[in-house]
Chains A and B, each alone.
Chain A
Amino acid sequence: MKPVLLGLLALGLSGIAHGGSYLQVRVCDDNGCRETLPVTQHPSCPTPEDCPITFFSIVHPFGYSGVENQVEVSVCLLNDSLELEPSLIEAIQTWNDLVATTENCANCVLIEETPPTAGSFDSYSAQLHELGHCGMGLDHINRTWDEQWDGFFEETSYTRSADVAAVAGAIEVGTDGIRGTLDDFHNGIQGSAKSISWYRKIDNNPFAIDATVIDIGSFDRTLSSLPGGHSWPASANRAVGESLGVPNSQSVMYSGIAREMAYSGLTADDVNMVRMGMTGADRDSGTSDDYSLQVVYDGPCDGDAHLSTISVGLEDLSGPGGPGPIAECRLVRLDYSFSVPSPALTQHYSIVRALGKLPLEVRLNSAYPWDFGPQLFADGFESGDLSRW
């Protein structure tokens, strides 16, 4: 494998803009599926219940243990999936560049809207999304919700939150009728809902691009820092963007990708979540514990997938239950842990894996049609949308 360095992130530079969440986990049991916190496997913790797990944790990439100033995430490509290489390299480059943009989502379709039934899926967009999970430790910006009252939580465009009971009226969409905006309110049976999405204190705008430094001084997840008149953190879905005067824009960590939909880069929200992690244990930018992050392309795995942090490839994920997801990030034999058993890091987790186990795996479902080409025009031109030309 020949490592290829695709970019180097500047150390703790000023950030750009905000709203999103770090990897949480979904637990399914007799009561349905719900979001919950990662469980520590740190040896100093006898059982998860013994450890002070906080909702305000940050999940760092694999390789961060609390002391590094430079973290490297390596990616190899399965040898039978080399058609993914151009778009994979492009996706890696995008995460390395960490440039916030607007109008980054062509043919954007929300979960609540009807997706096209014809056309192909964009491999760059899918890999960008999955690398956001497996590589960056980010979770979806939006949350699941039991809309059908059947005990199963479906994806929605509401901002990600936790501990919202499946009862009528537990999530209110607000007067604007748009899911994910600043006037939503997540309640619960007894007001137990928790905000787990980070937002910019000054304006709660996940699309804003400016010179604001991203750290604990400017970013928060508690409702107490919301601007006056705001009831919940806004998230960067397309409809929220439209309401804020930023059309065709959406976080790549939104949990929906449709045929013919194509991202051309990151939003401020995506960038800021990674930058927030890079502030290190003290969550303060510009201090000695900040770290930089490099994603390195190792080339074809050549049977040595375990040597890289993440292996990427195509695989048939369809089965008797249907066609399956278009892509997935597997944290096989992975867990989260306190990076270092120090008080400062009890609010931090990093992606880890047991020694000798499989690497993180990103798989795109070969049962679906894919567009493998790099996006020359990510504004809809390639799919026939000439409205912006």
Chain B
Amino acid sequence: MRAVLAVATMLLTLGPPPEVHSPASGGPDFESASFEVSTDPTDLVLFLTERGGLGNATAFQFLLYGDGRLVRERVDNSNLKVLQSEEVALTFDETSEILDHAVRSGLAEFTSERVREVVGHDQAISVDSSTVVLEMNFIRYERPGLSERAPYTATARLTNPRIYARAYPELTEASALRRLQELVANHFIASSRSESERGNR
């Protein structure tokens, strides 16, 4: 398995970093986190989906592999059967942008404990809403104050991040999760469009 070292400080292409709970605010220094992910085409690096919700029959799930392949699957929400699958190839920079955003915003360490810390409890604050699920697989992950974890699988789940972001702006991971969804979806759409244009020439 080949590996690529992605240092969080060298690949930022999003402009100013998102405001996260940072050392200045007494939180962990996610900006200085470093990580390695596999570049093996068969290794799943990131999985992102939004499941559940009243009457929500279908959902998208995104699977990002080590070689930059991004697969978008439309699944039946009741049995997770894949109804449709499409695939694009992301560039190294695009892949890094996605992973960088997730790591820098603290999503690689986001747990219900963090929700409890900010909100006072770890309950969902809305009923019938869908839940965003993020999983990331690292060969190695570390940051100041946190000893190296190798390998490391991170899982983050949050029901209705949009409402958390509105009600608890200090829970910066909520808006970061939403932004990650947009980032992944936008890269998929843009790559899909450019591949389609190339095919038409």
Partners in one complex: yes
Binds A, one of B30-38, B143-151, B159-167: B159-167
B80 within 8 A of A: yes
Binds B, one of A22-30, A180-188, A291-299: A22-30
Which interface residue of B53, B59, B111, B112 has the most chain A CB atoms within 10 A? Answer: B53
Contacts of B74 in A (CB 8 A): 322
Q: Are B55 and A26 in contact (CB under 8 A)?
A: no
Contacts of A28 in B (CB 8 A): 112, 124, 131, 157-159
A86 within 8 A of B: no
A326 within 8 A of B: yes
Mark interface residues in B19-33 (1 if CB within 8 Å of A CB, else 0). Answer: 000000000000000
Given contacts A28-B112, A28-B157, A326-B55, contact A321 B122 (CB under 8 A): no
Contacts of B126 in A (CB 8 A): 328-332
A331's contact among B54, B80, B125, B184, by CB below 8 Å, is which? B125
A256 within 8 A of B: yes
Given contacts A321-B60, A322-B60, A330-B160, contact A133 B123 (CB under 8 A): no
Q: Are A27 and B160 in contact (CB under 8 A)?
A: no
Given contacts A322-B59, A324-B130, A325-B130, contact A150 B49 (CB under 8 A): no
Q: Are B50 and A321 in contact (CB under 8 A)?
A: yes
Mark interface residues in B34-58 (1 if CB within 8 Å of A CB, else 0). Answer: 0000000000000011111111111
Q: Are B58 and A323 in contact (CB under 8 A)?
A: yes
Q: Are B60 and A320 in contact (CB under 8 A)?
A: yes
A335 within 8 A of B: yes
Binds B, one of A34-42, A227-235, A301-309: A34-42
Q: Give Cα A324–Cα B181 distance, bound, in whole angstroms.
A: 13
Interface residues on B, range: 35 or more
B10 within 8 A of A: no
Contacts of B124 in A (CB 8 A): 25-28
Q: Are A255 and B78 in contact (CB under 8 A)?
A: no
Contacts of B82 in A (CB 8 A): none
Given contacts A320-B185, A322-B60, A323-B58, contact A328 B128 (CB under 8 A): yes
Q: Give Cα A126–Cα B54 distance, bound, in whole angstroms.
A: 9
Q: Are A325 and B54 in contact (CB under 8 A)?
A: yes
Given contacts A29-B112, A321-B132, A322-B50, contact A330 B125 (CB under 8 A): yes
Contacts of A317 in B (CB 8 A): 129
Within 8 A of A (CB), among B131-180: 131-133, 155, 157-160, 162-163, 166-167, 178
A148 within 8 A of B: yes
Mark interface residues in A132-152 (1 if CB within 8 Å of B CB, else 0). Answer: 011000010000100110111
Within 8 A of B (CB), among A302-348: 317, 319-335
Contacts of A126 in B (CB 8 A): 54
B16 within 8 A of A: no
B contact face: mostly helix, strand, loop, or mixed? mixed
Q: Are A327 and B54 in contact (CB under 8 A)?
A: yes
Which A residue's beta carbon lies closest to that of B183?
A320
Q: Are A39 and B121 in contact (CB under 8 A)?
A: yes
Interface residue total, chain A, C-beta cutoff 8 A: 58
Mark interface residues in A338-370 (1 if CB within 8 Å of B CB, else 0). Answer: 000000000000000000011000000000100
Q: Are B181 and A320 in contact (CB under 8 A)?
A: yes
Q: Are B55 and A329 in contact (CB under 8 A)?
A: no
Nearest CB of chain A from residue B128's CB, rounded to whole Å = 4
Nearest CB of chain A from residue B196's CB, rounded to whole Å = 19
B200 within 8 A of A: no
Contacts of A155 in B (CB 8 A): 52, 78
Contacts of B158 in A (CB 8 A): 28
Q: Are A257 and B160 in contact (CB under 8 A)?
A: no
Other 12 A-B pairs with CB < 8 A, given A28-B112, A154-B77, A328-B53: A29-B157, A33-B159, A121-B55, A129-B128, A154-B52, A258-B57, A324-B130, A325-B129, A328-B126, A330-B160, A330-B163, A332-B125
A selection of 29 A-B contacts at a CB cut-off of 8 Å is A26-B159, A27-B112, A27-B122, A28-B158, A29-B111, A38-B123, A111-B78, A117-B57, A151-B155, A152-B133, A154-B51, A154-B77, A256-B55, A258-B55, A321-B130, A321-B185, A322-B59, A322-B60, A322-B74, A325-B53, A325-B128, A326-B55, A328-B128, A330-B160, A331-B125, A331-B127, A332-B125, A334-B125, A335-B123
List chain A positions with a Cβ less than 8 A from chain B.
23, 25-30, 32-33, 36, 38-39, 41, 48, 111-112, 115, 117, 121, 126, 129-130, 133-134, 139, 144, 147-148, 150-152, 154-155, 255-258, 317, 319-335, 357-358, 368
Q: What are the 9 tightest A-B residue pairs by CB atom distance, in nearest-first order?
A: A321-B50, A325-B53, A320-B185, A326-B55, A29-B112, A28-B157, A25-B123, A320-B181, A322-B59
